Amino acid sequence: MDGKAVMLGLLARSLARGDTSAPLAVRLCRACVEILEADGGALTLSSTTPERLTVSTSNGNSARFEDLQEVLGEGPGQIAYTEGRTVIEVVE
C-alpha cells in the first residue's frame, strides 16, 4: 500500500469515529490533528489568490494563530500558499 492509501485509511477511520453531527470541516480538522498527533490545527482554504478562508480550528490557540496570520500577512499558511507545499509549524 502506498502512503496516500494509508493516509486515506487513517482519515476514514478517524472520521468514522468522530462526532457525525459536527460539520464536515470540523470533523476533518479534528481528524488531521488526531492523525498528526498535533496539539492543534486549522483547516484553511485558498484558491488562486493569497486571500484565505479558515473554515475550522481545533482550539482557541489555533484560532488565534490563524487570526495573527491574517493580520500580519505572514506565517505557515502564507508560506504554504506561495510555495505550494505543506507547512507544519512547531510552536514551543
pLDDT tens-digit readout, 33-60: 999 898 899 988 876 666 778 899 999 9
- Residues paired with 86 in a beta bridge: none
Placement of cell 507544519 in the chain: 88
pTM: 0.78
Coil vs helix vs strand at 8: helix
Give the single-character DSSP code of 33.
H
For position 50, what pLDDT does the model report?
66
Q: Which amino acid, one-letter code, is at 34?
A: E
CA geometry: angle 36, 40, 44, nearest 5 deg: 90
